[in-house]
Amino acid sequence: MEGYRPVDPRESPRFSGIKTFMRLPHIKTTEGVDIAIVGVPFDTGASYRVGARFGPEAIRNVSALLRHHNEVLDVSIFEHCSVVDWGDLPVNPGYVEDSYQMIEDGLLPILEGGVIPILLGGDHSVTLPELRAMNKVHGPVALIQFDSHSDTGDKRFGRKYTHGTPFRRAVEEELLLVDHSIQVGMRGSIYSRDSLDDSRKLGFELVTSVEAQEQGIGELVQRIVNRVGDEKVFVTFDIDFVDPAFAPGTGTPEVGGFSSREALQAVRGLKDLNLVGFDLVEVLPQYDPSQVTALLGANIVYEFVSLIALKKKLASEG
């Protein structure tokens, strides 16, 4: 098919060239584009370690390894999808509200152009302005959140906008179809006995890591699919969903998590949903000496792209 596609790694070595996601062309257009990869290098919302501002760069660097055919989903991505690397949205380091406006304004033209965005964080605070932009174009959407934390706190250090609070704000701002939204993977020590109930009171279905691990990934996927139904859905993937043995490079790691294999299996299970946007957040390269976290992040984004390509492939086959 005609459209934007990466350089062929058999013609040009994978270690060469300027680093974009999968070596896609860096073009800021929505014309003839199905998917845009978009960096959001902002980490002022982080409560513990900072440095996720370098996440997009690290993911792009290691994504040069990715090849064009997804064997498990059986789809040759660029036969069905035109994809660009949009570059990064502008942000103002240190200033959450300013950055929120810049992120929302930066994402809007991509959505208005009918392009599916896949955003690379940044800490998890960036998902709120993303959802504000999504709401302007799509109306409220369902949310699937993979995360070891629910991120539905009220305030951190007296402030409303941090990486621990975006999904409470999203409910308050009526950006979500909360009856169709689900949070999965919560684990680790929490502030009080009712911390997780806060999410349920807001209307989310919440599946803890222990529950999901007892039931298995197949059952977890079924719960997600049942919850979302046919609604438009935004997928937000906090890399700390995965165990720090597989993803050490993150700001607030929690032990007892999922393997990379389980994470990929869960994402692939979303193939029949009405997917309208994605983000992958909280990759923190300074704590990722072997780049294994960035590599996993790149592969999860690869699965996101593949899910859209697969839908297009199946639609073209009737």
Total of residues contacting Mn ion (CB under 5 A)? 7
Residue that is written with structure tokens 């208005």 in the block: 112
Task: Please report how close the Cβ of residue 147 comes to Mn ion at its closest, in angstroms.
Answer: 4
CB–CB of 148/257 below 8 Å? yes
Q: Which stretch binds Mn ion (CB under 5 A): 11-19, 76-84, 141-149, 167-175?
A: 141-149
Compare residues 34 and 240 and give the one whose CB is closer to Mn ion: 240
Q: What's the CA gap between 270 and 266, in Å, rounded?
A: 7
Q: Which of 85, 130, 205, 240 is in the footprint of Mn ion by CB under 5 A?
A: 240
Task: Please report how close the Cβ of residue 239 comes to Mn ion at its closest, in angstroms.
Answer: 8
Q: Does 238 bind Mn ion (CB under 5 A)?
A: yes
Q: Which of 132, 149, 168, 232 is in the footprint of Mn ion by CB under 5 A?
A: 149
Residue 203: is the preceding peptide bond cis (ω within 30°)?
no
Q: Does 124 bind Mn ion (CB under 5 A)?
A: yes
Q: What's the CA gap between 177 and 76, in Å, rounded?
A: 33
Q: Does 147 bind Mn ion (CB under 5 A)?
A: yes
Compare residues 130 and 238 and give the one whose CB is closer to Mn ion: 238
For every residue of 118-136, DSSP letters joined together read EEEESSGGGHHHHHHHHHH
Q: What's the CA gap between 312 and 318, in Å, rounded?
A: 10
Task: Please report how close the Cβ of residue 43 comes to Mn ion at its closest, in angstroms.
Answer: 12
Q: What's the CA gap between 213 and 228, in Å, rounded?
A: 21
Q: Which stretch binds Mn ion (CB under 5 A): 16-24, 120-128, 260-268, 300-308?
A: 120-128
Q: Which stretch binds Mn ion (CB under 5 A): 3-11, 131-139, 194-202, 237-245?
A: 237-245
Q: What's the CA gap between 98 and 113, in Å, rounded?
A: 24
Q: Does 279 bind Mn ion (CB under 5 A)?
A: no
> DSSP letter at 74?
T
Task: Report the interface residues with Mn ion, using CB under 5 A.
Answer: 124, 147-149, 151, 238, 240
